[in-house]
Chain A
């Protein structure tokens, strides 16, 4: 089966940089996703990595190392609206998507 680990909570101040790590074990690999979920709302897609390296999308970047079973999401120039839960999810060899428990990011003024 699949297992994913990510920290439960992170707190940072506005304007700071936050890195959320995700380690995974999976049978086969067909990509890793990051989603953002505000309280009471639907998860929304942030990024997708299938090859090693860094994908940058505005203030958010995501990194993948397949050999280490490791990814991180980097949030730069933190804003209050970035307070949310961040979910990593891995698609295994049979194309099933498994999610981590999520990291709650709290941004303080």
Chain B
């Protein structure tokens, strides 16, 4: 595997379910990110981890819970979601947060539908 991978690619869940999204990067990066992408809206940054430490929580509701066990893996745990949470969830990584010039590499995303 190369680059940034995400599983599952598609997920349909009810409002009472609990599920997790997984992201893995094979680039040796130290920063990882979760974004939410809704139709016709800008990517919304949700969480940032730098060297496994959370450095950004962009006022995300507590029904989204991130976990970063090491620099290569990032999870997003979901519970009691709302229909408006349906979106494409993108994971990204970069060399390091807080420095210039380093682009972010994105995974293919998980298309989440909450019913």
Residues of A within 8 A of B (CB): 4, 8, 30-31, 33, 35, 41-45, 48, 50, 87, 89, 91, 95-102
Instruction: Indicate whether B100 reaches chain A with its CB closer than 8 angstroms.
Output: yes
A31-B100, A95-B97 given; A42·B109 CB < 8 A: yes
Complex contact A102–B42 (CB within 8 A):
yes
B98 close to chain A: CB less than 8 A: yes
> Which A-B residue pairs are the 7 nearest by beta carbons?
A42-B106, A99-B43, A45-B103, A99-B42, A30-B100, A42-B108, A101-B42
Select B90's contact among A8, A31, A42, A100, beta carbons within 8 Å: A42
Say if the beta carbon of B4 comes within 8 Å of chain A. yes
Closest to A101 in B: B42
**What is the 8 Å Cβ interface bit string for chain B, positions 1-32, against chain A (1 contact, 0 not)?**
00010000000000000000000000000000
User: Are A95's CB and B99's CB within 8 A?
Assistant: yes
- Is the CB–CB distance between A48 and B42 below 8 Å? no
- A50 vs B101: C-alpha distance in the bound complex, in angstroms? 8
Specify which chain B residues have a CB less than 8 angstroms from the CB of A50 in the assembled complex: 100-101
Contacts of B56 in A (CB 8 A): 96
B108 — which chain A residues lie within 8 A by C-beta?
A: 41-42
Residues on B with C-beta less than 8 A from A41 are 108
Report how far A87 CA is from B92 CA in the complex, Å: 15
Say which residue of A42, A44, A95, A101 sits within 8 Å of B98 (CB atoms). A95
A95 to B45, CA, bound (A): 13
Smallest CB–CB gap between A92 and chain B, Å?
Answer: 11
Residues of A within 8 A of B106 (CB): 35, 42-44
Closest to B56 in A: A96
* Known contacts A43-B90, A95-B97, A95-B98; is-contact A48 B43 (Cβ 8 Å): no
